[in-house]
């Protein structure tokens, strides 16, 4: 029974490589999600009213599929959360993000009061299928970048909130007498300040006084920079992460043979700089083992008698064998 449950768990898990049933299940649930959302959208068009019955049938079948998957995920939750007992693992899944989204995918079909607005949350499920590989999730990359830059993002959001409050108070002072119905208190201009700062400018509320229009111009200009700050921070975070991955790949891409060289008294390497050794022999020295120390070499690091060099060139290893 345990083997069967583990097999079911592997199949319903997203992105399992080399497992055709798991891949087929991912494709099947993707099709079900797309059909479900398509029917939900087409139901809003009067032109397709003759097909409403067919839409309901398709939606009912897909929701039944979602319900079966949800039940299977609850059943196999103890495998997902191995550190917890059976009941505790299932409760942990029920309150998890995936568990809540799965539940909200099913409930709206029954048009329960207050849940119709959650129908769009079906879209969230499809994003779980986008995996870079079995151990990396595209959302995990985003979360990692945001967590790395959280202090800078928090600072930029704080600046936006301060500017929103200041612009709301400022436009109230400038426009209250001219438009008391539109700007009747300090927070009535908040909608206007948000639309101005974010450069949307819906135009339903706008300044009519000279002072208000000048303020509107300044706030709109500030909004361009304010929106660009968090965008630039997140973009820089992605660039940094990409650069790290690229450098890591370059560091280990050319390692075909790794060997260790003991620097003896007779060795021609003793007393030489790392930069000279790498240039002369076309080698890459990754580490120097010196007694109990592990040294990451720099170009100006000088090799000493008794050092053990960890290198990646077979040629250099052959020419400097152990004594």
Highest mean pLDDT among 200-214, 249-263, 288-302: 288-302
pLDDT at 235: 86
User: What is the rounded CA–CA span in Å between residue 223 and residue 49?
Assistant: 44
Instruction: Output the average pLDDT for the chain.
Output: 78
Mean pLDDT along residues 291-312: 84
Topology of the domain covering 259-319: Alpha-Beta Plaits (3.30.70)
Categorize the per-residue pLDDT at 276 as very low, low, confident or very high, splitting at 50, 70 and 90. Answer: confident
Mean pLDDT along residues 268-297: 81
**Count of positions (residues) in the chain:** 323
Per-residue pLDDT at 304 exceeds 80: yes
pLDDT at 298: 83
Mean pLDDT along residues 63-92: 88
Per-residue pLDDT at 309 exceeds 50: yes
Q: What are phi and psi of 290, to 5 degrees?
A: -125, 95
Beta strands in 52-167 (DSSP E): 131-133, 136-137
Q: If you classify domain 150-251 with CATH, what class do you get? A: mainly alpha
Answering whether pTM is above 0.85, one says no
Contacts of 187 by beta carbon, 8 Å cutoff, 6+ apart: 168
User: What is the rounded CA–CA span in Å between residue 64 and residue 45?
Assistant: 24
Please state the domain extents for the chain. Answer: 2-130, 150-251, 259-319
User: What is the rounded CA–CA span in Å between residue 112 and residue 274?
Assistant: 71
pLDDT at 135: 45
Q: For residue range 219-253, what is the model confidence (pLDDT) as tens digits?
A: 888 888 877 888 888 888 888 877 776 665 555 44
- Cβ atoms 262, 316 nearer than 8 A: no
pLDDT at 124: 61
Per-residue pLDDT at 266 exceeds 80: no
- Cβ atoms 131, 14 nearer than 8 A: yes
Assign domain 2-130 one CATH number from 3.40.630.30, 1.20.120.350, 1.10.357.10, 3.40.50.10190: 1.20.120.350
**111 in helix, strand or coil?**
coil
Q: For residue range 9-61, what is the model confidence (pLDDT) as tens digits?
A: 888 876 656 778 888 888 888 888 888 888 878 887 888 889 889 988 998 89
- In this structure, what DSSP letter does residue 96 have? S
Mean pLDDT along residues 89-113: 79
Q: For residue range 102-119, what is the model confidence (pLDDT) as tens digits?
A: 887 787 777 655 555 555
pLDDT at 74: 92
Q: What are phi and psi of 171, to 5 degrees?
A: -70, -30
Q: Among 132, 105, 98, which residue's Cα sits nearest to residue 15?
A: 132
Q: State the maximum Cα–Cα separation within the chain, in Å, rounded to a whole number.
A: 94
Q: For residue range 155-210, what is the model confidence (pLDDT) as tens digits?
A: 888 888 888 888 888 888 888 888 888 888 877 778 888 877 776 666 677 888 89
pLDDT at 293: 81
Categorize the per-residue pLDDT at 134 as very low, low, confident or very high, splitting at 50, 70 and 90. Answer: very low
pLDDT at 132: 38
């Amino acid at each position: 029974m345990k083997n069967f449950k583990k097999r079911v768990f592997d199949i319903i898990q997203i992105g399992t490589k080399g497992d055709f049933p798991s891949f087929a299940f991912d494709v099947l649930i993707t099709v079900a999600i797309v059909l479900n959302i398509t029917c939900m959208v087409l139901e809003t068009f009067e032109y397709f009213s003759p097909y409403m019955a067919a839409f309901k049938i398709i939606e009912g079948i897909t929701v039944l599929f979602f319900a079966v998957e949800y039940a299977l995920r609850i059943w196999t939750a103890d495998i997902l959360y191995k550190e917890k007992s059976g009941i505790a693992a299932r409760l942990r899944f029920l309150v998890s993000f995936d568990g809540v989204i799965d539940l909200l995918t099913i409930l709206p079909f029954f048009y329960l009061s207050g849940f119709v607005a959650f129908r769009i949350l079906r879209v969230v499920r499809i994003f779980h299928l986008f995996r870079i590989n079995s151990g990396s999730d595209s959302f995990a990359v985003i979360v990692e970048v945001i967590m790395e830059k959280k202090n800078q993002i928090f600072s930029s959001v704080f600046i936006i909130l301060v500017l929103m409050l200041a612009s709301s108070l400022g436009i109230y002072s400038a426009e209250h007498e001219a438009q008391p119905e539109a700007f009747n208190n300090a927070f009535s201009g908040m909608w206007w300040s948000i639309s101005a700062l974010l450069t949307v400018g819906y135009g339903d509320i706008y300044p009519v006084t000279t002072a208000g229009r000048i303020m509107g111009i300044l706030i709109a200009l500030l909004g361009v920079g304010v929106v660009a700050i968090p965008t630039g921070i997140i973009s820089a975070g992605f660039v940094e992460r990409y650069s790290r991955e690229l450098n890591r790949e370059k560091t280990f891409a050319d390692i075909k043979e790794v060997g260790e060289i003991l620097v003896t008294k007779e060795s021609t390497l003793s007393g030489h700089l790392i930069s000279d050794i790498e240039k002369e022999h076309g080698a890459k020295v990754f580490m120097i083992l010196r007694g109990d120390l592990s040294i990451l070499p720099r170009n100006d690091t000088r090799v000493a008698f008794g050092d053990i060099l960890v290198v990646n060139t077979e040629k250099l290893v052959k020419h400097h064998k152990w004594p």
